[in-house]
Amino acid sequence: MGVRPGWLAVQFLVGDHVEIYFVPPEHDRSLAGALRAYSSVALPDQQSFREAIERAWHEHVQEHFLGESLEPRS
């Protein structure tokens, strides 16, 4: 079954039977670079990274909480 120590068993009563799913624990491996093949964005340093995060949060708040679209209107 591939279940290992530390996995969580989740049980559901479905009709007249029980279904059991096994969920692996969270990992502590780095995911740095995992999506590199799917993006052309490259940030040269930590400062650029922090600025990109700030811009993304600003845009998210503007769109979702203040109802303002940041996309150009025609």
Query: SS3 sequence, 10-60?
Result: EEEEECCEEEEEEECCCCCCCCCCCCHHHCCCCCCCHHHHHHHHHHHHHHH
Look at residue 70 and tell me whether its pLDDT is greater than 80: no
Look at residue 59 and tell me whether its pLDDT is greater than 80: yes
- CA 17/CA 37 separation, integer angstroms: 43
* pLDDT attached to residue 33: 82
Q: What is the mean pLDDT of residues 21-41?
A: 87
* pLDDT attached to residue 21: 95
Q: How confident is the model at residue 44 (pLDDT cuts 50, 70, 90)?
A: confident
Is residue 10 a contact partner of residue 20, using CB atoms and an 8 Å limit?
yes
CB within 8 Å of 10: residues ≥ 6 apart: 20, 21, 22, 23
Query: Domain limits of the chain?
Result: 43-74
Look at residue 14 and tell me whether its pLDDT is greater than 90: yes
